[in-house]
């Protein structure tokens, strides 16, 4: 039976899925009732998070594919029809917040608002090319409150949660501008780097809605973050091609468009693309989830091999790590990428599956990253001993200690899982519970370091 909006009702969609599994039981024996309970639970959670019933069914079936081969076949065979049912929604459908067209309009308006907001300081004489420090400190303030607002609107958060989010966003904006930073100084750079990390937790609370206190809600935010990165990079690459063609064709008629790129297209496009990419992740959620696990599985062995080779070479040659600042920054970035691979591997894995070869590779990656982090900490300690304390070195020590604790306990939990002495959900819970630690440290760097180190 069609629903009141003229589409296929949720119950009929579930009935078709159920019948498909029953017809194929002879090939793949499954407990249909148990899987249906899990499917309905997933749909219920997604509906509470703000999705429409048909959106929730589509996403839930796609996710069920990681648990059951028949659900994966059903999703693959029916995906085109399901997407058409999802996207083609009559204009008089029930809640306008769940209509894809309305979501697109709201996201586009917020993207335009972010683009306008980043140009507002120019009205007061603060130019991008003259006060790069101001824009670096406030870049996340220009866009992340609007992105949070998109999810507040979509998830319909409670007033108490909304007040907390507003307070955090206001505090972020004030902290980025109240201190008398030395132009181009250490603490100004640290603020520019750490404020987005602190604010990303605010976005996570808005994204998860009422599920932030649950492991599943925080894990969904991890998935969203990885998928957003993929889409943002794709948009950036497309934008680079567009600007290259624009520069070429306008140059042919003797017009230099570089000032327009630098003053308008690049800053406005950079902040607006964050909102647009987030909307795309939401709109095409079940499609992009098939991309990120593939990329993770592709790069995890390579990073593990690089780290193992590096550690082996370090031991074989007896050489120490160079203590130059740029080398240590690159080293820290490598560890952050490794942590990102671990996080997204965990988020994309079925926790009920048995340990496999990829899990062994993950343990090798974690163990080698743990040893590499210990080497980095030793190098930073040597630099502090030789040259003394600076904001950069203290921040680097704190970040490496945080990574060290995370990787150490992750290695223990993963080893327990491989040995059959622990559940994979323990690792999921540890990683999701640890997320606020990064934001808290980032907030400490933003709020405490400038006055502590004299705003240098």
The pLDDT assigned to 84 comes to 43
Q: Give the rounded percent of residues in the chain with a pLDDT score beyond 90.
A: 16
Whether the Cβ atoms of residue 346 and residue 423 lie closer than 8 Å to each other: no
Q: Tell me, what's the pLDDT at 323?
A: 57
Q: Tell me, yes or no, whether 273 and 304 share the same domain.
A: no
Asked, for residue 430, whether it belongs to a domain, the answer is no
Last residue of a domain, one of 283, 316, 340: 283
DSSP per-residue string spanning 171-207: HHHHHHHHS-PPTT-HHHHHHHHHHHHHHHHHHHHHH
- Two tokens, residue 160: 């108490």
- Picking from 283, 300, 331, the residue at the C-terminal end of a domain is 283
User: Does one domain contain both 324 and 257?
Assistant: no
Does 416 reside within a domain? yes
- Is 443 a member of any domain? no
How many C-beta atoms surround the C-beta of residue 395 within 10 A?
A: 22
Instruction: Tell me what the mean pLDDT of segment 67-85 comes to.
Output: 53
Which of 283, 309, 342 delimits the end of a domain? 283
Q: Is 439 within a domain? A: no
C-alpha to C-alpha distances, 36 to 23, 24, 350, 447, nearest whole angstrom: 15, 15, 17, 49
Q: How far is CA 3 from the centre of its chain?
A: 35
Region 72-79: mean pLDDT is 56
More confident residue, 375 or 352: 375
Whether 216 is in a domain gets the answer yes
Q: What is the pLDDT of residue 325?
A: 62
* Domain with 34 in it: 10-87
Has residue 171 got a pLDDT over 80? yes
Partners of 2 in beta bridges: 8
Residues near 367 by beta carbon (within 8 Å), at least 6 away in sequence: 411
Cβ proximity of 284 and 262 under 8 Å: no
277 shares its domain with 313: no
- Interatomic CA distance for residues 133 and 128, integer angstroms: 9
Whether the CA torsion 33, 34, 38, 39 is positive or negative: it is negative
Q: State how far Cα 381 lies from the chain centre.
A: 31
* 414 belongs to a structural domain: yes
Q: Is residue 110 domain-shared with residue 233, that is, in the same domain? A: yes
First to last CA, the chain: 68
Q: Are residues 166 and 215 located together in one domain of the fold?
A: yes
Residues 303 and 263 placed together within one structural domain of the fold:
no
Indicate which CATH number applies to the domain containing 317. 1.20.1440
pLDDT at 71 over 80: no
pLDDT, mean of residues 4-21: 66
Handedness of CA 114, 116, 251, 129 (dihedral sign): negative
Residues 6+ apart with CB under 8 A from 179: 187, 191, 450, 451, 455
Quick one: 81 and 196 in the same domain?
no
At residue 116, the pLDDT reads 92
Nearest to 144 by CA among 203, 224, 232, 205: 203
* Same domain flag for 112 and 256: yes
Residue 159 within any structural domain of the chain: yes
Q: What is the pLDDT of residue 369?
A: 84
Structural domain includes residue 27: yes
More confident residue, 401 or 383: 401
The tally of CA atoms less than 13 A away on the side-chain side of residue 281 is 29
Q: Which of 297, 412, 438, 273 is nearest to 356 (CA)?
A: 297
**76 lies in the same domain as 111:** no
Give the count of beta carbons closer than 10 Å to the beta carbon of residue 70: 22
Report the percentage of the chain scoring pLDDT > 70: 81
Predicted pLDDT of residue 151? 92
Same domain, 112 and 201: yes
Which pLDDT belongs to residue 24?
A: 61
pLDDT value, residue 85: 46
Q: What is the pLDDT of residue 92?
A: 37
Instruction: Using CB atoms within 10 Å of the CB of residue 328, give its burial: 0 to 12 exposed, 13 to 18 middle, 19+ buried.
Output: buried
96 Cβ contact partners less than 8 Å away, ≥ 6 residues apart: 102
Whether 2 shows a pLDDT value over 50: the answer reads no
CB-CB contact of 58 with 218 (8 Å)? no
How many domains are contained in the chain? 3
To which residue do tokens 């602190």 refer? 198
Q: Which is higher by pLDDT, 311 or 195? A: 195
CB 64 within 8 A of CB 38: yes
Least confident of 38-47, 78-87, 144-153: 78-87
pLDDT average, residue stretch 305-324? 75
Are 325 and 259 in the same domain? no
How far is it, in rounded angstroms, from Cα 174 to Cα 169? Answer: 9
Whether pLDDT at 90 is above 50: no
Whole-number pLDDT of residue 166: 92
pLDDT at site 68: 58
30 with 78, same domain?
yes
Residue 147 pLDDT greater than 50, yes or no: yes
Cα separation, 79 vs 114, whole angstroms: 34
Q: Report residue 273's pLDDT band, with 50, 70 and 90 as the boundaries.
A: very high
Q: Is 164 or 285 the better-scoring residue by pLDDT?
A: 164
Give Cα 311 to chain centroid, integer Å.
29
**Residue that wins the pLDDT comparison between 326 and 415:** 415
């Amino acid at each position: 039976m069609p629903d009141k909006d003229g589409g296929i009702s949720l119950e009929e969609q579930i009935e078709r899925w159920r019948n498909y599994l029953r017809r194929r039981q002879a090939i793949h024996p499954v407990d249909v009732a148990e899987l249906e309970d899990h499917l309905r639970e997933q749909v219920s959670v997604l509906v509470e998070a703000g999705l429409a019933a048909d959106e929730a069914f589509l996403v839930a079936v796609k996710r069920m594919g990681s648990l059951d081969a028949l659900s994966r076949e059903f999703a693959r065979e029916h995906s085109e029809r399901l997407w058409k049912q999802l996207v083609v929604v009559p204009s008089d459908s029930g809640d306008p917040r769940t209509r894809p067209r309305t979501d697109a309009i709201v996201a586009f308006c917020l993207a335009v608002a972010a683009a306008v907001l980043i140009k507002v300081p120019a009205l007061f004489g603060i130019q991008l090319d003259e006060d790069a420090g101001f824009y670096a400190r406030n870049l996340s303030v220009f866009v992340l409150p609007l992105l949070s607002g998109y999810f507040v609107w979509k998830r319909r958060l409670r007033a108490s949660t909304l007040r907390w989010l507003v307070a955090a966003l206001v505090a972020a904006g004030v902290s980025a501008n109240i201190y008398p930073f030395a132009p181009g100084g250490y603490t100004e750079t640290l603020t520019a780097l750490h404020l987005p990390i602190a604010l990303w937790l605010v976005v996570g609370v808005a994204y998860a809605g009422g599920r932030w206190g649950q492991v599943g809600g925080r894990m969904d935010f991890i998935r969203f973050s990885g998928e957003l990165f993929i889409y943002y990079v794709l948009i950036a690459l497309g934008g680079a091609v567009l600007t290259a063609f624009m520069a070429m064709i306008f140059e042919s008629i003797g017009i230099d468009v570089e000032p327009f790129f630098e003053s308008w297209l690049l800053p406005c496009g950079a902040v607006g693309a964050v909102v647009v990419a987030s909307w795309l992740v939401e709109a095409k959620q079940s499609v992009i989830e098939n991309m990120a696990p593939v990329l993770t599985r592709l790069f995890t062995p390579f990073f593990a091999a690089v780290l193992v080779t590096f550690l082996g070479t370090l031991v074989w040659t007896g050489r120490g790590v160079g203590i130059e600042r740029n080398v240590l920054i690159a080293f820290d970035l490598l560890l952050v990428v490794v942590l990102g691979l671990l996080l997204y591997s965990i988020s994309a894995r079925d926790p009920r599956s048995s340990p496999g070869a990829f899990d062994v590779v993950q343990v090798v990656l974690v163990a080698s990253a743990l040893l590499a982090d210990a080497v980095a900490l030793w190098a930073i300690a040597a630099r502090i001993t030789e040259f003394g304390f600076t904001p950069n070195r203290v921040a680097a020590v704190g970040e490496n200690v945080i990574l060290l604790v995370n990787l150490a306990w992750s290695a223990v939990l993963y080893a327990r899982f491989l040995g059959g002495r622990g559940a994979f959900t323990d690792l999921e819970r540890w990683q999701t519970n640890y997320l606020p630690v990064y934001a808290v440290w980032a907030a400490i760097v933003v709020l405490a370091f400038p006055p502590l180190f004299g705003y240098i």
